[in-house]
């Protein structure tokens, strides 16, 4: 009898959905570069709906490592028309110390010790990779100088406000236009139940999400944004008191720090000092993703969660594309292969990553050639810091009832893609889900059944076929 690894089987079952539901439909027109939110939209100009019937426009511009953008259509500026030469590879100044192959599948996917340019133009470089500092400088340049508004993006990586839940739309409407024009997130990543909590936003940009969350946590809550790009932090700071006045707060509950999300300790952010960490389209840009997740875990209180949206690849992105400043800046080539992300999240202590939602992230055919067939998804994960979670999903005969008491989710609460709780219904849950709900800020919104249950009924859900 062949022994089956229960953990692998379980992860395979839960995450196969991500793959199945995220198969990227390639645009026939070949004009769509990238769009996580565009899954419902039309390719403007061609007028062919890609999926569904929504009205989200999809950018049709193109980007390239060494040849640069070929010019924008669809009314959007190319980087050249904005007076920038974004096709410059730049950055590679040093000697190659090795071949620059990153270690894959271990969480070290993006960290390299070598230096070189993506197109071989840098002095002395052979086949190496940029250093972490050089990658960060490219990203700063991209978000500090090249991209001034959403319209300057070479892809439509950005999420539109149409996608926000109805309770958030009026809150988003309170945010200053200048801040909103520099919202570059790839999804909506604001969780429920934020009243009176402390929230940290990694890569807060112009502060758009922070100023929405500021209203949700209320005057007694706290929001901290961290970003490394001067102009973004300056803009966010410029509007901090303006928003406090607008919200009728005596004192602002938002603070912005200039710094690196890999080094939160340098900003004096203490262990266990936040209830929630959010982040919107940023992890993919970091050259040291393990450090970011480790720091997020450190600053979270027990029972807290990291709730964030980002771009993931459906296979590992070839190393030679990772240093392309445009592909990275547009949130494509720095994206982790989703299975490597799961491994990494578990490694730092987030034992049971949950997918809240996932959708295709469209990439233009011309880029697809360059990407060697790699496809992408935009996914929101929630990662709880709860110490007694198991790596597998197990059934201990437990159940919960959602009280319907969360103002933003009166009828049903989407906890994750597999756990959607209707108000008033008693539903069986795995021990991990039971523990996440009970250890977190969701606790008072649920009734719990079988708290002391010690009897194990096998994998959750019970209908799962046994394949030994």
Ligand X SMILES: C[S@@+](CC[C@H](N)C(=O)[O-])C[C@H]1O[C@@H](n2cnc3c(N)ncnc32)[C@H](O)[C@@H]1O
Taking CB under 6 A as the criterion, the residue among 229, 351, 398, 430 binding ligand X is 229
Nearer to ligand X, 62 or 257 (CB): 257
DSSP state, residue 2: P
Please tell me whether residue 179 binds ligand X under the rule CB under 6 A.
Answer: no
Strand order in the sheet with 426-429: 426-429, 398-402, 446-449
Q: How far is the CB of 334 from ligand X (least distance, A)?
A: 9
Residues 243-272 that bind ligand X (CB under 6 A): 260-262
Stretch that binds ligand X, among 224-232, 248-256, 403-411, 454-462 (CB under 6 A): 224-232
Residue among 197 and 279 whose Cβ is closer to ligand X: 279
User: Site for ligand X (CB under 6 A): which residue of 57, 209, 319, 364?
Assistant: 209
319 binds ligand X per the rule CB under 6 A:
no
The answer to whether the beta carbons of residues 116 and 122 sit under 8 Å apart is: yes
Q: Give the residue with the Cβ less far from ligand X, 107 or 185.
A: 185
Q: Which of 154, 280, 398, 433 binds ligand X (CB under 6 A)?
A: 280
Nearest-approach distance from CB 140 to ligand X, in angstroms: 6
> How many Å from the N-terminal Cα to the C-terminal Cα in the chain?
7
According to CB under 6 A, which residues from 134 to 173 bind ligand X?
136, 139, 143
Using the structure block, give the residue that is written with the tokens 């076929």: 465
| Using rule CB under 6 A, residue 286 touches ligand X | yes
Question: What's the CA angle centered on 61, arms 59 and 67, to 5 degrees?
Answer: 155
Is residue 203 a contact point for ligand X (CB under 6 A)? yes
Q: Which region, judged by CB under 6 A, interacts with ligand X, from 63-71, 197-205, 213-221, 384-392?
A: 197-205
Question: What would the DSSP string read from start to end of 221-287?
Answer: SEEEEEES-HHHHHHHHHTHHHHHHHHT-SS--EEEEES-TT-GGGGT--TT-EEEEEEES-GGG-S
> What whole-number distance in Å separates Cα of residue 33 and Cα of residue 17?
25
Distance, in Å, from the CA atom of 254 to the CA atom of 237, rounded to the nearest integer, reads 9
Q: Does the footprint of ligand X cover residue 307 (CB under 6 A)?
A: no
- Looking at the DSSP bridge assignments, the partners of residue 378 are 311, 359
Helix (H) or strand (E) holding 313: strand 300-313
Q: Does 285 bind ligand X (CB under 6 A)?
A: yes
Q: Rule CB under 6 A: is residue 337 a binding residue for ligand X?
A: no
DSSP string, 87-104: T------S---S--PPP-
Choice between 11 and 292, CB closer to ligand X = 292
The site for ligand X (CB under 6 A) is made up of 136, 139, 143, 183-185, 203-205, 208-209, 226-229, 232, 260-262, 280-282, 285-286
């Amino acid at each position: 009898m062949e022994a089956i690894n229960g953990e692998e089987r379980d992860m395979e079952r839960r995450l196969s959905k991500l793959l199945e539901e995220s198969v990227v439909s390639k645009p026939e027109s070949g004009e769509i570069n990238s769009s996580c939110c565009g899954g419902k939209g039309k390719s403007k100009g061609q007028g062919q709906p890609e999926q569904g019937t929504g009205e989200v426009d999809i950018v049709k511009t193109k980007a390239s490592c060494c040849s640069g953008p070929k010019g924008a259509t669809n009314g959007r500026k190319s980087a050249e028309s904005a007076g920038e030469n974004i096709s410059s590879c730049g950055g590679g100044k040093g000697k190659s110390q090795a071949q620059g192959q990153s270690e894959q599948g271990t969480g070290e996917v993006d960290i390299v010790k070598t230096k070189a340019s993506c197109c071989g133009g840098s002095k002395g470089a052979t086949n190496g990779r940029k250093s972490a500092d050089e990658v960060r400088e490219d990203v700063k340049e991209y978000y500090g100088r090249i991209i001034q508004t959403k319209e300057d993006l070479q892809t439509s990586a950005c999420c539109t406000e149409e996608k926000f839940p109805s309770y958030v739309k009026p809150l988003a409407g309170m945010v200053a236009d200048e801040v909103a024009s520099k919202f570059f997130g790839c999804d909506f990543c604001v969780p429920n139940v934020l009243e009176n909590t402390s929230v940290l936003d990694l890569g807060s940009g112009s502060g758009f999400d922070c100023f929405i969350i500021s209203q949700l946590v209320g005057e007694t809550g706290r929001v901290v944004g961290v970003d490394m790009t001067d102009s973004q932090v300056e803009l966010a700071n410029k509007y901090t008191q303006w928003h406090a006045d607008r919200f009728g707060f005596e004192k602002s509950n938002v603070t912005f720090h200039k710094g690196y999300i890999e080094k939160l300790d340098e900003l004096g952010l203490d262990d266990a000092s936040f209830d929630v960490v959010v982040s919107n389209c940023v992890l993919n840009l970091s050259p040291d993703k393990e450090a970011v997740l480790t720091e997020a875990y450190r600053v979270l209180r027990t029972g807290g969660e990291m709730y964030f949206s980002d771009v993931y690849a459906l296979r590992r992105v070839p190393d030679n594309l990772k240093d392309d400043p445009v592909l990275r800046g547009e949130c494509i080539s720095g994206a982790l292969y989703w299975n490597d992300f799961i491994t990494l999240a578990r490694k730092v202590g987030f034992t049971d990553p949950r997918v809240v939602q996932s959708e295709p992230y469209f990439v233009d055919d011309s880029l697809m050639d360059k990407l060697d067939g790699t496809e992408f998804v935009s996914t929101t994960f929630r990662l709880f810091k709860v110490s007694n979670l198991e790596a597998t999903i197990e059934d201990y005969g437990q159940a919960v009832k959602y009280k319907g008491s969360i103002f933003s989710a009166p009828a049903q609460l989407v906890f994750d893609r597999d756990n959607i709780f209707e108000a008033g219904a008693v539903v069986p849950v795995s021990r991990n889900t039971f523990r996440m709900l009970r250890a977190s800020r969701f606790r008072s919104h649920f009734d719990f059944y079988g708290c002391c249950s010690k009897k194990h009924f096998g994998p959750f859900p019970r209908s799962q076929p046994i394949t030994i």
